[in-house]
Chains A and B, each alone.
Chain A
Amino acid sequence: MLGLGKKDTTLLIVVAVLTLCAPFILNPFPAGSAMAQFNAGYPDLMQRFVIFGIFAVGFNILFGLTGYLSFGHAAFLGVGSYSAVWIFKLFTYNVLPAIALSVVVAGLFSLLIGFVSLRRSGIYFSILTLAFAQMSFALAYSVLSNPKFNLTNGETGLQVYTDDPQWFHSDRLPDLPHLFGLSMRATHTMHMGDWSFSFNTGYYLCAVVMLLVFYLAIRIFRSPFGMMLRAVKSNQQRMNYTGLNTRPYTLAAFVISGMYAGLAGGLMAAMDPLAGAERMQWTASGEVVLMTILGGTGTLIGPVLGAGFIKYFENIFSKINDTVLHGWFGFLPDGLEDVMVFIVHPFIGKGWHLTLGLLFMLVVIFLPGGLVEGGQRLARWIRGRRAEDSRRKTEPAE
């Protein structure tokens, strides 16, 4: 279907069903119950899941296929956000032109940075991208926000003010980003017994966009181009002596992943019409690296899983506090309960980054294929055990 193989079609359908039904799936606990804090089905978080999913899927096209580790992709995301907010400021709150421009600008920007950075490989490439991204951050943070030429509005962040021109804006339209009048913030809440589910326009826009670009990523992975990119990672020397010019291949991958990042940035601004320089900082680039590797580098679904995983824990894990912990370990004798709370305490709440760092290290050390590899190993193990069981059943005991 859609020019995909059987496995890929299944994967796409599964992802589509999961994203479209996310408001149900992510809210498994009744509102008001003790477990409700683990519900992730609120618009804000769901939007972040898919937006960072897009970001990571794009990053994976570069890192997963070609092996070039960029530490500067957040710059493209930031540029995308700024472009989108400028459309909001100057023309209209309609998100389509904003998103389109953010993709184009991020594409051009990544073409420029990629052209320079890809003249080097390995660690030098990483450091070049890092340097470019930090430079962009510094520029956005201070230089480009002077009174004469205020492109980024510095520390405050770029946002829409009432005296902005917004030439194509009219009073009939919502005063927030919208899609032909349909406000991104519009949320329909459905109550079913104790449960409540939110269906948010913004989320569904992001979800549809993600499905589109996820489909595109599958096509790229299965194309001759995708195979060439994997060949770049595997052996550049052989590439060259096979009559292939590696540089345009890597540059194309770089620009595509930059455009994915720009798209993510544009969507971010479309959900919340605001763009700040901190989105471009190298730690933000580090985050997408974490997502991709945690999920599974070079796999299709890995980056989406990684993004979802990190965003879920960032928002949910960080809310767990000692009271909750005492609730969990309440079944233990008092002394033991306190000990457990004491042990777990550093890893939750504000300490969630510690958990993330440790988890990331463990994945790099023991599970280079990330969560996807973990899942595969688990499946194999279960299958192996089942096979053993059935063998035992068929073989009569001696």
Chain B
Amino acid sequence: MGILEVKNVSKNFGGLKALNNVTLDVRENTVHAIIGPNGAGKSTLLNCLVGKLIPDTGSVMFDGQSVLGRKPFEINQMGISRVFQTPEIFGDLTVMENMLIPIFARRDGAFRMHAIESVAHESAVLEQAEKMLIDMKMIDKRHMHAASMSRGDKRRLEIGMCLSQEPRLLLLDEPTAGMARADTNNTIDLLKQIKAERDITIAIIEHDMHVVFSLADRITVLAQGTPLVEDEPQNIRGNPKVREAYLGETA
């Protein structure tokens, strides 16, 4: 029994079959990587998991409950947080405020009319946010505008925001895309640390094999909307099907 079960999901865009009968099982407390060449349907799959897209057929169950037909914010409240390819943070707000918002969302739900209370008096929430900023090694940047930070810092902040919600499943969409080598390694270390310290399941979409093989417990290879293999990393490396899918792309 996995925490996330994707069964026979298909999604067409006009004539294009983006996902074709995808079945996927993400086990609890593992890092599951989904890899595949460009256009394999990785992002479409991810969007189906978070409520941005609704698959034409099939089911997506999270912890025994269907996520289909729910809005993104409802799915997040179920315990799924998502990190985007380009960091999505509140650029106009300070780093501290960025961290406060998910904690409030976790505490108060999708909407609460807390219009008279002062943020400055919410000591429990403030403390929690500070602790997370310390964990993310960005407490000294707390008063900075989030938009003015480097891409690596934005990425760390976004991951921290997601973690502060204590999600059961963390979805990462190419977390190192467009990053310099040093930043990539920092991100890998951060994710490794998260994996070691927390009870959390991570599903990661990634292009960079270096990242995948340093993190993943299990790998699903997707090609042309269909899962080719699902296996442990050491078995994926030598798999001729996988090589063909990737070589096919480069040739």
When the two chains form their complex, are residues B165 and A252 in contact, meaning their CB atoms are under 8 A apart?
no
B140 within 8 A of A: no
Task: Give the chain A neighbours of B71 by CB distance below 8 A.
Answer: 240, 245
Residues of B contacting A4 in the complex (Cβ-Cβ under 8 angstroms): 118
Given contacts A228-B101, A228-B104, contact A241 B50 (CB under 8 A): yes
Q: Is there an interface contact between B104 and A224, defined as CB atoms closer than 8 Å?
A: yes
- Residue from A5, A230, A234, A252 in contact with B113 in the complex, judged by beta carbons closer than 8 Å: A252
Known: A235-B89, A239-B101. 9 other contacts (CB 8 A): A5-B118, A5-B120, A219-B118, A220-B116, A225-B114, A234-B90, A237-B84, A243-B110, A245-B73
Footprint of B on A, CB under 8 Å?
A: 3-5, 219-220, 222-228, 230-231, 233-235, 237-246, 248-249, 252, 256
| Known A234-B92, A241-B88; contact A227-B113, beta-carbon cutoff 8 A | no
Q: Does B72 contact A (CB under 8 A)?
A: yes
Residue pairs across A and B with Cβ atoms less than 8 A apart, 8 shown, are A5-B118, A223-B118, A225-B112, A226-B115, A235-B89, A241-B73, A242-B161, A243-B106
**A223 surroundings in chain B (CB, below 8 A):** 114-119
Q: How far is the CA of A249 from the CA of B104 in the complex (A)?
A: 14
A227 to B104, CA, bound (A): 10
Q: A231 to chain B: which residues have CB within 8 Å?
A: 90, 93, 97, 101
Shortest CB–CB separation between residue B200 and chain A, in angstroms?
16
Report Cα–Cα, A33/B28, bound state, in Å.
84
Closest to B161 in A: A242
Per the bound structure, the CA–CA distance linking A119 and B78 in Å amounts to 24
- The residue from A3, A235, A249 contacting B88, defined by CB atoms under 8 A apart: A235
Measured CB to CB, the closest approach of chain A to B39, in angstroms, equals 23
Contact with A along B106-131 (1 / 0, CB 8 A): 10111111111111111000000000
* B10 located at the interface, meaning its Cβ lies under 8 Å from any Cβ of chain A in the complex: no
Contact string against A for B residues 87-106, beta-carbon threshold 8 Å, 1 for contact and 0 otherwise: 01111110001001110111
Residues on A with C-beta less than 8 A from B82 are 241
Q: Is the CB of B76 within 8 A of A225?
A: no
Chain B residue numbers with a CB within 8 Å of A219 are 115-116, 118
**B88 A224 Cβ-Cβ under 8 A:** no
Bound-state Cα–Cα, A224 to B74, Å: 20
Question: In the bound complex, how far is the Cα of B201 from the Cα of A255, in angstroms?
Answer: 41
Contacts of A226 in B (CB 8 A): 115
Question: Are B118 and A249 within 8 A (Cβ)?
Answer: no
* Contact A235 B110, beta carbon cutoff 8 Å: no
Contacts of B89 in A (CB 8 A): 235, 238
Looking at the assembled complex, report how far the CB atom of B104 sits from the nearest CB atom of chain A, in whole angstroms.
5
Beyond A241-B81, A241-B82, A243-B106, whether A224 also contacts B114 by CB under 8 A is yes
- Min Cβ gap A20→B in Å is 24
Chain B residues in 8 Å Cβ range of A239: 73, 101
Complex: A5 Cα to B100 Cα, angstroms: 18
Q: Does B91 contact A245, Cβ atoms closer than 8 Å?
A: no
Residues of A within 8 A of B74 (CB): 243
Q: Which of A222, A224, A244 is in CB contact (< 8 Å) with B73?
A: A244
Number of CB contacts from chain A to chain B under 8 A: 111
CB distance A238 to B110 under 8 Å? no
Knowing A225-B115, A227-B100 are in contact, say whether A243-B91 is a contact too (CB < 8 A). Answer: no
Give the distance in Å from the alpha carbon of A330 to the alpha carbon of B165 in the complex: 71
Q: How far is the CB of A104 from chain B (nearest CB, A)?
A: 17
B48 to chain A, nearest CB (A): 14
Q: Does B21 contact A (CB under 8 A)?
A: no
| Dominant secondary structure of chain A at its interface with chain B | helix
Q: Kindly name the residue among A4, A230, A244, A248 whose own CB sees the greatest number of chain B CB atoms within 10 A.
A: A244
A317 to chain B, nearest CB (A): 35
A248 to chain B minimum Cβ distance, whole angstroms, is: 4
**B20 on the A face (CB < 8 A):** no
Knowing A5-B120, A219-B118 touch, does A227 contact B105 (C-beta < 8 A)?
Answer: no
- Compute how far the CA of A224 lies from the CA of B161 in the bound complex, rounded to whole angstroms: 16
- CB of B77 within 8 A of chain A? yes
Least Cβ distance of B100 to chain A in Å?
7
Chain B residue numbers with a CB within 8 Å of A252 are 113, 115
B residues in contact with A220, CB < 8 Å? 115-116
Residues of B within 8 A of A241 (CB): 50, 72-73, 76, 81-82, 84, 88
B120 touches A222 (CB 8 A): yes
Of the candidates B77, B82, B89, B116, the one having the most CB atoms from chain A within 10 angstroms of its own CB is B116
A237 to B161, CA, bound (A): 14
Inter-chain contacts of B117 with A (CB < 8 A): 223-224
Docked complex Cα distance between A235 and B89 (Å) = 7
- Whether A3 lies near B113 (C-beta < 8 A) is no
B145 CB, min distance to chain A CBs, angstroms: 10
Q: Mark B223-241, 1 if CB is under 8 A from A, else 0.
A: 0000000000000000000
> Is B90 a contact of A238 with CB atoms below 8 Å?
yes
CA distance A249 to B76 in the complex (A): 17
Measured between alpha carbons, how far is A248 from B108 in the docked complex, in Å?
A: 14
Closest 6 interchain pairs by CB? A243-B76, A225-B115, A245-B110, A234-B90, A234-B92, A248-B111
Nearest chain B CB to A8's CB is how many angstroms away?
9
Nearest-neighbor residue (CB-CB) of B122 within chain A: A224
Q: Nearest CB to that of B167 among chain A residues?
A: A243
Cα(A252)–Cα(B100), bound, Å: 21
Q: A225-B113, A225-B114, A252-B113 are in contact. Are A235 and B90 (CB under 8 A)?
A: yes
Find chain A residues with CB under 8 A from B105 CB.
242-244
A245 to B113, CA, bound (A): 12
Bound form: Cα–Cα A88–B114 in Å: 35
